[in-house]
Amino acid sequence: MQQSPNPWITRPAPADGANTAAPSAHLPPAAVISAPLRGMVEPDAADRLARRTVSGSATLWVTGTHGGSGESRTADLINRARVTDHCWPVLADGSKPRVLLVCRADMRGLTAAQSALTQWASGAAPELDLLGLAVLADAPGKTPKALRDFAAIVGGGAPRLWTLPWVEAWRHGDTTPPPTREYQRFITDVAALVTNTHPGTN
């Protein structure tokens, strides 16, 4: 599938054979796009995430862009995070939620994430503080180059991008946080962003 260049991308995709587990895959700098842009065209209605009014409090709302995205698993990793059931959260008290988008690293997942980011960038999503996009591996082993390249293009439309490896233990029902360096750094990054975005808030 031919993809046009993405003007939001902040760094080139890794070359084939590059070590995708290197620290550069995590703790990414903020992208050029950090808020909705005037003039962006929103995706077709069928490709948009719905809105959902949520109650209660959370440090972070985790929004999967498609079924099987890893929304629940990701929320379990982050203190006081909650899922939104694949919808943009709208808080009952009218405040602005902090949101993390998640998807799987296959073509379906990345395309869904691209649509969600386009919806956000066009201003068609509800008002929220989008921290970034987490792309979770969809299978064991190395992600194919075409998908790594596409993930870099899609992630260029998010304020930040994290690419996270496969966790075999989760397949067998082990719900403990993964010990991998990539996930530990991701958890630390998100916690720091939540704290620094709105100091002193819940």
Measured CA to CA, the distance from residue 89 to residue 130 in angstroms comes to: 11
Given this model, what pLDDT does residue 111 score? 96
Strand 87-91, strand 50-54: pairing: parallel
CA-based nearest residue to 179, from 111, 47, 77, 91: 77
> How many C-beta neighbours within 10 Å does residue 115 have?
20
Task: State residue 129 phi and psi, 5-degree precision.
Answer: -105, 100
Q: From first to last of its 202 residues, what are the pLDDT tens digits of the chain?
A: 444 444 444 444 444 444 444 444 444 445 556 666 656 666 666 678 999 999 888 999 999 999 999 999 999 999 999 999 999 999 988 899 999 999 999 999 999 999 999 999 998 999 999 999 999 999 999 999 999 999 999 999 999 999 999 999 988 888 887 778 999 999 999 999 998 765 433 3
Given this model, what pLDDT does residue 175 score? 81
CB 170 within 8 A of CB 138: no
Task: State residue 176 phi and psi, 5-degree precision.
Answer: -70, 150
Given this model, what pLDDT does residue 172 score? 87
Strand 81-83, strand 98-104: pairing: unpaired
Given this model, what pLDDT does residue 163 score? 96
Given this model, what pLDDT does residue 49 score? 94
Given this model, what pLDDT does residue 162 score? 97
The residues facing 1 across adjacent strands are none
Given this model, what pLDDT does residue 48 score? 82
- What is the set of domains in the chain, with CATH numbers? 45-197 (3.40.50)
Given this model, what pLDDT does residue 200 score? 37
